[in-house]
Structure 1
Amino acid sequence: MTSESFVHPYIPNTAPASREAMLAAVGAESVEEFYADVPPALRLNRPLDLPAPLVAEQDLARHVRGILASNRSTEERLSFLGAGTYNHYVPAVVDEVIRRSEFLTAYAGEPYEDHGRFQALFEYQSLMAELLAMDVVNVPTYDGYQATATGLAMAGRLTGRGRVLLVSDVLPEKLSKVRDYIRASLEIETVPATAGIADVEVLRTLLDGEVAAVWIETPSATGAIETGMPAIVEAAHEAGAIVVVGTDPIGYGVLTPPAVQGADIVTGDIQSLGLHQWFGGAHAGFIAVHDDPRFVMEMPSRLFGLESTDVPGEYGFGDVAYERTSFAQREEGKEWVGTAAALWGIASGVYLSLMGPAGMAELGELLLARTRYAQQALAALPGVELGDSAVHLREFTVTFSGIRAVDVITALRGQGIEPGVAVDDHTLLVCVTEATSASDIDRLAAAIAGVIEAPTSPTSPLTKEHGA
C-alpha cells in the first residue's frame, strides 16, 4: 500500500479523494509544495518510525499509557534542572481557577460570549506591568522565544536597520528560534560576554548606524544578572539603537526592572509565574513597552483594556488598538501572530495576585540566597570551580577539572538526583528554586563529592581523564 492510497484511521483527510480535493482547492500538485521552504538539511527523507495504527481505542489507550509510564517527573526525583523550564511552586488555587470552564474552554471569545476572560487577562496585564515597571503588556503570545523575536522585529521596523548585537549568553535553543524568526530582515551578531556579563567597551566599538537593537538576556543562559545595563542603554541610545531585553520576571520583586534602567522593549516567558514544568513546560511570552504610541502600535499581539460601551456610564473589557494587529490587517499586517497562550496569562495573573509585592520580594530574596548557598556548597568541593564571578539568580555553572559532567549526571541519576544540564564536557548548569531546600543542596554536594572521590578503574565510566 502506497502512502498516497493509505487512509489513516485517526486522520480522515488522508483519504485519497479528500487529499485530491484539498490540493485542487489550493492549486497544488502535491503536499510537497507546502514544504518547499524547508531546507533539505532539516528534512527526514524517510517515513517516521511509527508503529502501525491501533484501530481499537482501548488498544491505543493501553499503548500510550505504557509510553507515559516511563516518564519520571521532578516531583518524583530531586531536580536541579533548569535551562528555560523551572520547578517553581504552583499554588493550588492557580490550577483551580484555570480549570473553570469559562477559562479552560474559551479559545478566543468575543464580548457577547465572554464570562470574565477579558477582565482576567486585563488584570494579568496590569499585574505584569507593575512587576516590570512598564506601561503596556500584551496578552501572552506563544512563548518567550517568540516574544523576544517579536521585540527584535519591532526594533527593526522602528529603526529601519538590519543588525542586532547580542551582548549576553543565551540558550542555544532560544538563539536558534530567534534567528529563524527574524532572519528575513535582521542579522544577529554575538558580542562575547566577559565574566558572565556584557563587555560594554567591546559593544561600543561595534555600534554604528546599522544597528537596530542591542539584545540583553538577564538572567543569562547561565543565570548571570546583567549589572551593566545603564551603560549599555546609554551607548545603544547614543547610536540610535533600541534596547531589547529578554528576561524572566521571577526576580523583579527585588531586582531593578530593565525598564527602570532604560530598556525600551522587555520580553520573556511567564513559565516561572504559576505554570508547571509538565515535561517541557507550559510556556507563554510577554512583550512590554512604555506608553509610547510608536512602540505600542508596533506590538502585533492583542491588548485588552477598559472600554466604554454603547450605554453611557457602563464599561467593559475588550481589544485596544485592534487595527494594528494582523487579525485586522490580515496579509497587510506588520507581523503575523497566531495562537495566543491566554490561559497561561490567567494562571500567571492568579499567581501574581496571590503573591503580591511582598510575596514577590520574599521570593526574590530567597532565590538569591539559595543560589549563593548552592554556589558556595559546590565550589567548596575539590576539583570544582564556579563558571564566572557574576551575581546569579537561580542558575549557575560549575566546571569539573577531573571528571566529565555527563558522568556526574549518570552517577547521580542512579541516586534519584537530576544534578543539572551538561553545557559541555566539563561544565554543568545547576538550577535551584524556592522548592529546593538547603538540605537538598547539601545532598547534591555530598553526592557530587562521592563521585569525585569514588575509586576508578580503566574500564569505569567514571574514570577521571588524567587516569584514563
Structure 2
Amino acid sequence: MTDPFIHPYVPNTAPASRQAMLEAVGAESVDEFYADIPADLRLGRDLDLPEPLIAEQELVRHVGGLLRRNRAVDPGRLFLGAGTYLHAVPAVVDEIINRSEFLTAYAGEPYEDHGRFQALFQYQSLMGELLNLDVVNVPTYDGYQAAATSLAMATRITGRRGIVLVSDVHPDKLSKVRDYLRPIADLTVVPGAGAEADVDAALAHIGERTAAVWVESPSFHGALETRLPQLAEAAHRAGALLVVGTDPITLGVIASPADLGADIVHGDIQSLGLHPWFGGAHAGFIAVADDPRLVMELPSRLFGLASTDVPGEYGFGDVAYDRTSFALREEGKEWVGTAAALWGIAAGVYLALMGPQGMAELGETLLARTEYARRTLTALPGVADADGAVHIREFVLDLSAASLTAPALVTALRLDGFEPGLALDDHRLLVCVTEQNTQTDIDDLAAAFAAALANAEKEKTA
C-alpha cells in the first residue's frame, strides 16, 4: 500500500486534517456522506486521473498545451450558429463591464449598488422598448432557463398543466425544459407544417387543460413564424397563454411577438453584445405586460425607479421583492438563484450604442445576407432549400442529392479553414450568417462548397 498523496495546497488531503474534519461532524468515513446514493449508481473505484502536477511551472505547461489545441476561425469563415452567435461586439461594451463597480467574482450578481441597479434598470427599459412590453426581468442564467420559467409561470397563472409546443426548438433547450417542467406540466410536441406551425394540428391539442402554447420565432432552424396571431387566438380562446421564444437581435426589423398576441416573451441575450466564449456567454430574459397577474409570477428580480426619504431625490431598487424566492425562501413559487446580471449590463450598453436605427439596419442586414447565402448555396448542384419559409440568420440546406453527406461536407470545408455549419443529420446542414459574414465571405463559402462537392463527385466516378 502506497502512502496517501498530500497536496501542498489542499489541506484536506492530509490524513490528520481529514480525520479531524470527520470527527467534527460525527462521521466514521467519507462514505457516510453518500449513503443516500444507491450503490448501483456509485463508481466503486477511484477516479482514473493522471498524476498530480505539483510544480507551478508544470501546471502552466500542461494548461498551455490544452489551450494550444483550440483552433480559431476567421469571423468571415464562421457559419456556425445553432444557439451561440458571432455578432459584432463594440469595444466600449467590454470596457464598461470590466469597470470595478460592475465586474465581480460572483456572476455579476447585484448584491450592492454602485450604479448597478440603475444600469440594470436601464437594460430592462431598453429591452422593454425593443420587445414592446412593460416589464423585463434581471437576466437568468441562460435562455433555456428563461424558457422553462416562462412556461412554469403559465402553469401557475392558469392553474393548468398542459404545454403545447408547435415549432422547432433547439434539442438541448427542449431537454432542459422537459427536465424543469416534468413535476408540474405535461408537454406535447405538435409537428409543424414544413418550417412553421401546423395550426390545424395544434388546435386538436389546445383545450381546457392547456396552460400555454409555446412557439419559437425564429425557430431552431431560423424560420420566422407567420401564424402567431392565429395561435394567439386559439390559445386565448381556450383560456391559455401564448408563450413565445425569440432572439432580440431580430426585433429591429421583425415585429415583436407581443404585437402579435404573445403573453410572455422569453429568449437569450447572447447576441446583444456578448462574445461566444467557448459556448458562452448566455443570459435569459422574460418579458410581460404590466399586468399583476403576470408580473407577480416572475420569480426573478426586477429593478425600478423609487423615491427616497429626501424630497426630490430618487434611487433604484427591487420591485415587488416579496414575490421572489430570495424573500420567501422555501415558500417561494419557484427557486431562482444567481442572476447573470453582468451580461444584462453588457446588453444594455449594446442596445444604447445601437439605438433604434442601428438595430433596424442590423436586422435588414441579417435578412438580406441570409437570403443571399441561401440563394447562392442552393444554386450548387445537389444542394436544395429544406423549406420555403422566411428565415433570418439561419437556414437549412438539403443535401440528399449532393455528392457528400452533411458531416462529410463539414469535415472537407474545415480543411479549407471554414466552419460551414451544423450537420443536423446525414442530409441536412444548418448554416448561420451574421453581419460578420460579408457578401464576399458568402461567395468564398459557395466556392469551397462547389469544390468539395466536385472533388467528391470525381472520386465516385474514378
TM-score of Structure 1 vs Structure 2, range by shorter chain = over 0.9
SS at 1:206's partner residue?
Answer: coil
Paired residue type of 1:365: E
- Residue 460 of structure 1: aligned partner: none
* Alignment: residue pair count: 454
Mapped to 2, the partners of 1:301 and 1:191 lie a distance apart of 30
Give the direction of change, closer, same or farther, for the CA distance of 1:329–1:376 in structure 2 (3 Å limit): same
| Residue 407 of structure 1: aligned partner | 408
3-state SS of paired residue (1:334): coil
Residue 193 of structure 1 aligns to a residue whose secondary structure is coil
Change (3 A) 1:344 1:195: same
Structure 2 unaligned spans of 5+ = none
Shift of 1:126: 0.3
Deviation above 4 Å: which 4+ runs of structure 1? Answer: 5-15, 21-25, 33-36, 43-49
Matched, 1:300 2:295: no
1:273-318 superposed Cα distances (whole Å, 9 cap, x missing partner): 0000111120000010110001111001000111122222211111
Write the letter of the residue equivalent to 1:430. Answer: V
Change beyond 3 A, Cα 1:314–1:164 = same
Q: How does 1:51-450 map to 2 (within 5 A)?
A: 51-75=50-74, 78-105=77-104, 107=106, 108-110=109-111, 113-400=112-399, 401-402=401-402, 403-450=404-451
Q: Please say if residues 139 and 283 of structure 2, whose CA atoms lie closer than 8 Å, have aligned partners that are also in contact.
A: yes
Relative to structure 1, the CA distance from residue 52 to residue 10 in structure 2 (aligned partners, 3 Å threshold; closer, same or farther) is: farther
Residues 164-190 of structure 1: CA deviation (Å, up to 9, x unaligned): 111010111110111111111112111
Give the C-alpha shift of residue 118 in structure 1.
0.6
The verdict on how the C-alpha distance between 1:455 and 1:391 changes in structure 2, with shifts beyond 3 A counting, is closer
In structure 2, give the amino acid aligned to 1:305: G
Equivalent residue, structure 2, for 1:32: 34
Give me the identity figure in percent.
63
- For the structure 1 residues 439 and 100, does the alpha-carbon distance in structure 2 shift closer, same or farther, using more than 3 Å as the test? same
Q: How high is the TM-score relative to the length of structure 2? A: 0.92
* Structure 1 residues 197 and 455: alpha-carbon distance in aligned structure 2, compared to 1, 3 A threshold: closer
Q: In 2 relative to 1, CA 453–434 (structure 1 residues): closer, same or farther, beyond 3 Å?
A: same
Separation in 2 of the partners of 1:376 and 1:140? 37
How far off is 1:48 after superposition?
5.0
SS in 2 for 1:276: coil
- Decide which moves more: 211-220 or 51-60: 51-60
Q: Within 2, Cα distance between the matches of 1:390 and 1:39?
A: 49
Secondary structure of the 2:124 match is helix
- Say what the alpha-carbon RMSD is for the aligned residues: 2.5
CA distance in 1, matches of 2:432, 2:269: 17
Q: Which residue of 2 aligns with 1:17?
A: 19
For residue 444 of structure 1, give the secondary structure of its aligned residue in structure 2.
helix
User: Tell me, what secondary structure is at the counterpart of 2:285?
Assistant: strand
What is the DSSP-based 3-state SS (H/G/I as helix, E as strand, rest coil) of the residue aligned with 1:347? helix
Q: Does the Cα contact within 8 Å between 1:9 and 1:53 map onto a contact in 2?
A: no
When residues 363 and 398 of structure 1 are mapped into structure 2, their CA distance, relative to the original with a 3 A threshold, is: same
Separation in 2, partners of 1:280, 1:39: 33
Q: Conserved in 2, the CA contact under 8 Å of 1:140 and 1:284?
A: yes
Give the direction of change, closer, same or farther, for the CA distance of 1:399–1:337 in structure 2 (3 Å limit): same
Conserved 8 A contact 2:155-2:185: yes
Shift of 1:57: 2.2
In structure 1, C-alpha distance between the alignment counterparts of 2:246 and 2:308, rounded to whole Å: 37
Distance 1:386 1:114, change over 3 A: same
CA pair 363-21 structure 1, distance change in 2 beyond 3 A: farther
Once the 2 structures are TM-superposed, how far is the Cα of residue 16 of structure 1 from its aligned partner?
Answer: 2.8
